[in-house]
Amino acid sequence: MTNILLICSGGMSTSALVKKMQESADKRDIEVNIWAIGDAESQEESKKADIILLGPQVRYLESKMKQRVDNKKPVAIIDMLVYGTMNGEKALDNALEVYKNFNE
């Protein structure tokens, strides 16, 4: 099971993307746990994640998140087009690819 954490300003705008990513995973029998939060909650929640994805609107948090996880977990920014179109399948594929490449 891969734990994928999405972070945005308040945690609300990514909720729709989380749902679409989970639907895509379910259709393909991929075991993932995906959830979204706002930056204010990221200190504790980042400990539970295998990969952290940042909404494009909070891309400025990338270095802060990498420091928070001591560069021991991948931190990536969700592509603006993928985010804007709420393409859950593409977002999931990108997350899993980043996770795989980080662990190779």
| Known catalytic membership, residue 8 | yes
Determine which one of 5, 6, 7, 8 is catalytic.
8
Classify 53 in phi/psi space as left (phi over 0), alpha (psi -120 to 50) or beta: beta
- Count of Cβ atoms closer than 10 Å to residue 81 Cβ: 10
Q: Please identify every residue annotated as catalytic.
A: 8
